[in-house]
Structure 1
């Protein structure tokens, strides 16, 4: 068996495990900031909804006349006539659906949906969350003449759900957020397919031939050396106009284009080349080197991710609020509310979204868990899933969108909109209640004290026998000097207790402190695929200051790894997912500093010199002892 580590650094036995000797996770602050951005987007969407409702009830005529304002675009005999309402729903929402398509493409290429074992639970939950609401709506609305509008209740509003999760969700929402986003991708695919197949009228196939040619052009644009932006823009307009002329809803052009935009994980050689150009610019600053360095850095990131980053603020802060302003103007007079309460359409929407989504998502997830099909991940308990399933009843954006294209009668549209608003409020309140009860039932302090994911020798990096009475699980960072000290202590423990110790390493890279830590973690996983995880660990710890892509490749060559396989594995989505799983486990246990050690499944608090660790190990097997 290979030696665990050859590095010895004398740990300081007098320094407790506190702020002074552990790097804290600034990435937690980054996640809070990201959740804050989602919260702002949701609040803007809510504000636009309130404004639309107030406007429509204070002066319904001006609301209707404003959005019925006609705009003319074109030249000579080529003219397009849009109302402001149609401009928002047909043109601006194409940008929204474009970003949805980018997310779908990314998740299937390098995200949560690359591995069926990880994706099966949210996929099944999403399918059930599409089917059950539709069936309930159809049964309730049967005989009203609008039962065909069942598409109104099938989709979840991702923007609202993520924002609501940031507002009322559990304190550590990482796993639940990933689960809901993966579910939302499948949900969006179902909604978009239904819009295309069910709610397309006056279909004309010939313009789609032009659209197909344009989409082929979009695909091959990736091979241009430069000037791709204008080409993408021109082809996108052609494809959108072709969809408009065909009768297929033009917003789906955004999805079709997005699915052809390339997505990939950054290649280590491309990153290294960009760094070389940046160094050249630093040594000889001039416009040419600056442009070359900037272009190289930009090209190392896939077009898909660059577009997501560029468009996300416009969608969240402009497109969706404008959509809400144009579509949420529901009249709420006493007579209208009485009519809505008696309307099967209103009740179909409310029951479909609030009850149907919950039964579909939660019920499918619970069944999958009972039969052990797929994996929910550490910290994602069924009560957390129940809160997320309740949030899925917020079907705001696409629900309002489908109302506009599935229901012709203005009174029925108003009743359906009342149902969507009521369902969204009810879903939010129910989810809030579930999360508050869940927090009381499963206090975070207890979750933080015990190891969330049991040691699995088939998954984890284990040194020692599964029969060993002592187990130390370390969440660490290869660039953290205190993790280096901990490795020296654990080696000393190993020498003293011998085969009675089993040691397990899991990843918790401090990406804000150590920009190369995540790449180092992924590289160690690539080495593990060739059976040399601990050898690569030693190489990383031996030179913590040099962990650039070139250093990582050099170490792999020195260890005699198959370089072609190693470099291919470095860009593998499975490798990234493996590290991300550890990081999400760490978040679920509120690990904000490294090294964090678990002694026989219980979090170790205190010094981690060899003597202290041995005492903690021995105490852990004494009856009634507290580690």
Structure 2
């Protein structure tokens, strides 16, 4: 194999490992290797490896832990920091931002914590009551990986629902670790840790966009938390929550575009550095840190943790002893049955109480399947098992219970999804992907030849800063395909965030009645900051339209119904925001830059499928 082939193979392998299926299978492989080593004639080497003492001195401070504790109390802080970043993203720009979308999964997630704990205490509370925390967490990475293997082929909406559930799980689990399972708290370092959290909050309030100050404060916070005697997982979660997240601002993106133009004209290191800083500034520090840490955490931190904690010696009757322990059965019942019942019951009760609805495209059978998979505790469960028990036999029984529950939850989830598919017709747990209705050359607004082989339909909002006309992406498509493409626009005014979008859509339709839709379309995008009624009337005057007729048409309810019909077709087609593109009738679900759309369009025709098969 030459270097080029080796490089391509390595890149493809890494890309596969970054997928949910790849990362889950990687963890399974690591667990099996750890179990095999711990039960082999070389098990002593496995134990000695993790007992290896490692100490770090920083002035008068001394961090003296064995390798196992460095993994659990050091590396895993990165895992919980990434979890905190994800929670902040969901609160700021994701599923937890809208009340009607967050209450159902939040209630389901809360019951998905309380019910397993109650089940555990009923079974094992008399013998080992401190172990209730083992069953409250869900391993998000494992859950999503197994979902990709056994769930519906299209399950993105269910995935978002389960991610929101895991926000509750992770937050409560980390709070429990940092408070219930922390001993001998020292007040001095604890005050320093609180000061670090305050510093992170102040950095966010000051809109500091550089990541370095946040990283330095988080490092000090970790050290202070370890010295304070509080488990540092809590510090990692809280730190991630305090790193601000936001959607890109149009002004910052435009500034970055001009900076790149400078580099295009003068490619040197100094200009490249300025361009890099400008690009970084256009993306929130939360998203940048998450992007930088996500792959190392999933491919290094979590597998190393699994390797350090899953190596359970099952020889010498240990397995039989564990299965005779109420701890094991409390963990298995709590994770497998408790999660399934708690989450399913919580989602049903929240919907019945009118707190919200299930995500579009997600049926009750899919919720039950996802609830079953939430019994895969693994990472958090093994971490708490290591902290919760004083008796080594109880720790071992709990760890074996976590592994048994992982297998059983996966099997129960696969069965639930099969029943949902066969009995209830739930073949998908996602939004529709097919354009509904199809393009009508008589009614739709169309640019380009009616019979062109490539069709792009864009649902747009005239206040959307990243729609095709606003970014110039539509022109890039036209330049590339020429008369081989037709471009269609439909309205999706997002009135909750863009209050003038509906009026602008009416203005475009009123101009259409005088044969000037595309002229008004271009003017509206060129003046996105000025879309008041007087502005719209002025644009009609500039375009030479009959202004009195324009005014009458703006008040015509027929045009308002047309705009609402476009918005309804967007919902029926799975479009929830702008811009949303349909390429030859299929909704684009990835990036929507011109290069990506061009490649997707060229791969969408039947002859491209023939080339791929050959």
> What range is the shorter-chain TM-score in?
0.7 to 0.9
C-alpha displacement at 1:330, in angstroms?
1.5
Q: Look up the SS of the partner of 2:317 in the other structure.
A: helix
Q: Per the alignment, do residues 596 and 84 of structure 1 end up closer, same or farther by CA in structure 2, a change over 3 Å counting?
A: closer
Aligned match of 2:355? 373
Q: Per the alignment, do residues 204 and 433 of structure 1 end up closer, same or farther by CA in structure 2, a change over 3 Å counting?
A: same
The whole-number CA distance in structure 2 between the counterparts of 1:306 and 1:434 is 37
Q: Per the alignment, do residues 388 and 529 of structure 1 end up closer, same or farther by CA in structure 2, a change over 3 Å counting?
A: farther
Paired residue for 1:73, among 56, 62, 76?
56
> What are the ranges of 5 or more consecutive residues in structure 1 without an aligned counterpart?
1-32, 454-472, 477-481, 490-504, 564-577, 598-627
The whole-number CA distance in structure 2 between the counterparts of 1:141 and 1:150 is 9
Aligned match of 1:3? none
C-alpha displacement at 1:78, in angstroms?
3.6
- What does 1:74-113 align with in structure 2 at a 5 Å threshold? 74=57, 77-113=60-96
Q: Look up the SS of the partner of 1:557 in the other structure.
A: coil
Paired residue for 2:295, among 301, 304, 313?
313
**In the alignment, is residue 57 of structure 1 matched against residue 19 of structure 2?**
no
TM-score (norm 2): 0.73
**In the alignment, is residue 194 of structure 1 matched against residue 176 of structure 2?**
yes
Aligned match of 2:506? 535
C-alpha displacement at 1:535, in angstroms?
3.0
Alpha carbons 2:201, 2:242 under 8 Å: kept: yes
Alpha carbons 2:204, 2:242 under 8 Å: kept: no
C-alpha displacement at 1:231, in angstroms?
3.0
Q: Look up the SS of the partner of 2:39 in the other structure.
A: helix
Aligned match of 1:554? 527
Q: Look up the SS of the partner of 2:56 in the other structure.
A: strand
- What does 1:469-484 align with in structure 2 at a 5 Å threshold? 474=436
Aligned match of 2:103? 120
Q: Per the alignment, do residues 340 and 484 of structure 1 end up closer, same or farther by CA in structure 2, a change over 3 Å counting?
A: farther
- What does 1:225-624 align with in structure 2 at a 5 Å threshold? 228-333=210-315, 335-443=317-425, 474=436, 487-488=444-445, 525=495, 526-527=497-498, 531-532=502-503, 534-535=505-506, 542=517, 552=525, 554-558=527-531, 560=533, 582=571, 585=574, 593=583, 595=585
Q: Per the alignment, do residues 369 and 213 of structure 1 end up closer, same or farther by CA in structure 2, a change over 3 Å counting?
A: closer
Total equivalences in the alignment: 502
Q: Per the alignment, do residues 229 and 114 of structure 1 end up closer, same or farther by CA in structure 2, a change over 3 Å counting?
A: closer
Alpha carbons 1:524, 1:537 under 8 Å: kept: no
Q: Per the alignment, do residues 75 and 444 of structure 1 end up closer, same or farther by CA in structure 2, a change over 3 Å counting?
A: closer
> What are the ranges of 5 or more consecutive residues in structure 2 without an aligned counterpart?
1-14, 447-457, 475-488, 537-566, 588-614
Q: Look up the SS of the partner of 2:62 in the other structure.
A: strand
Alignment root-mean-square deviation, CA: 3.9
Aligned match of 2:609? none
Alpha carbons 2:80, 2:233 under 8 Å: kept: yes
Q: Look up the SS of the partner of 1:171 in the other structure.
A: coil
Q: Per the alignment, do residues 332 and 537 of structure 1 end up closer, same or farther by CA in structure 2, a change over 3 Å counting?
A: farther
The whole-number CA distance in structure 2 between the counterparts of 1:155 and 1:327 is 16
Q: Per the alignment, do residues 304 and 411 of structure 1 end up closer, same or farther by CA in structure 2, a change over 3 Å counting?
A: same
Q: Per the alignment, do residues 223 and 108 of structure 1 end up closer, same or farther by CA in structure 2, a change over 3 Å counting?
A: closer
Alpha carbons 2:181, 2:388 under 8 Å: kept: yes
C-alpha displacement at 1:594, in angstroms?
5.4
TM-score (norm 1): 0.72
Aligned match of 1:502? none
Aligned match of 1:169? 151
Alpha carbons 1:475, 1:506 under 8 Å: kept: no
The whole-number CA distance in structure 1 between the counterparts of 2:111 and 2:26 is 30
C-alpha displacement at 1:592, in angstroms?
6.6
Alpha carbons 1:530, 1:561 under 8 Å: kept: no
The whole-number CA distance in structure 2 between the counterparts of 1:410 and 1:447 is 43
Q: Look up the SS of the partner of 2:19 in the other structure.
A: helix
Alpha-carbon displacement from aligned partner over 1:141-199 (angstroms, at most 9, x marks no partner): 0221x112100000111010011111111111011001000111111111111112211
Q: Look up the SS of the partner of 2:33 in the other structure.
A: helix
Worse-matched range after superposition: 191-200 or 91-100: 191-200
C-alpha displacement at 1:553, in angstroms?
6.1
The whole-number CA distance in structure 1 between the counterparts of 2:337 and 2:429 is 30
Alpha carbons 1:262, 1:304 under 8 Å: kept: yes
Higher relative contact order (CA 8 A, sep 6+): 1
Alpha carbons 2:322, 2:393 under 8 Å: kept: no
Aligned match of 2:133? 151
The whole-number CA distance in structure 1 between the counterparts of 2:207 and 2:354 is 49
C-alpha displacement at 1:506, in angstroms?
6.8
Q: Per the alignment, do residues 204 and 403 of structure 1 end up closer, same or farther by CA in structure 2, a change over 3 Å counting?
A: same
- What does 1:20-39 align with in structure 2 at a 5 Å threshold? 37-39=19-21
Alpha-carbon displacement from aligned partner over 1:192-216 (angstroms, at most 9, x marks no partner): 1111221111112221111122223
Q: Per the alignment, do residues 270 and 69 of structure 1 end up closer, same or farther by CA in structure 2, a change over 3 Å counting?
A: same
The whole-number CA distance in structure 2 between the counterparts of 1:311 and 1:392 is 24
Paired residue for 2:112, among 100, 125, 129?
129
Alpha carbons 1:527, 1:556 under 8 Å: kept: no
Alpha-carbon displacement from aligned partner over 1:413-472 (angstroms, at most 9, x marks no partner): 111111000000000011111112222234478999xx979xxxxxxxxxxxxxxxxxxx
C-alpha displacement at 1:372, in angstroms?
3.8
Q: Look up the SS of the partner of 2:444 in the other structure.
A: helix
The whole-number CA distance in structure 1 between the counterparts of 2:88 and 2:320 is 44
Alpha carbons 1:39, 1:164 under 8 Å: kept: yes
Alpha carbons 2:178, 2:233 under 8 Å: kept: no
Alpha-carbon displacement from aligned partner over 1:12-54 (angstroms, at most 9, x marks no partner): xxxxxxxxxxxxxxxxxxxxx8996111111111111111111
Q: Look up the SS of the partner of 2:242 in the other structure.
A: coil
